[in-house]
Amino acid sequence: MANHKSCLKRIRQNEKRKAHNRYYAKSMRTALKNFRNTKSKAEAEEQYPKLQKMLDKLAKQNIIHWKKAANLKSGAAKLIAKMA
């Protein structure tokens, strides 16, 4: 266990950030799952800008890597293009 006040504060901050990051990473995965389960192209095209914005924000905040965000956006765009 930490002995210094600053170490104890750092532990508290890290726990708070961890909870914050996990929440937003989970919400991103849920949004992706909902996007992938859509059947109609119109609905997917409506959801795509929101998904893109979410991925960009998470990449900017370093919650996910920027290349992972790019890969997920690319895959989503390919999914829309593949829909009839």
What is the per-residue pLDDT across 19-31, written as a single tens digit (0 to 9) for each? 999 999 999 999 9
Q: Would residue 61 count as lying in a domain?
A: yes
Grouping H, G, I as helix, E, B as strand and the rest as coil, residue 5 is helix
Span 46-66, average pLDDT? 96
Domain that holds residue 35: 27-82
Q: Would residue 18 count as lying in a domain?
A: no
Query: Could you give phi then psi for residue 35, rounded to 5 degrees?
Result: -65, -45
Number of structural domains found in the chain: 1
State the pLDDT at residue 3. Answer: 87
Q: Would residue 54 count as lying in a domain?
A: yes
Q: How far apart are CA 6 and CA 48, in angstroms?
A: 43
The first and second tokens of residue 72, run together, are: 């997920």
State pLDDT tens for residues 36-50: 999 999 999 999 999
Q: Would residue 55 count as lying in a domain?
A: yes
Q: Would residue 52 count as lying in a domain?
A: yes
Q: Running DSSP on this structure, what letter comes out for residue 62?
A: T
Q: Would residue 38 count as lying in a domain?
A: yes
Closest among 81, 74, 65 to 25, alpha carbons compared? 65
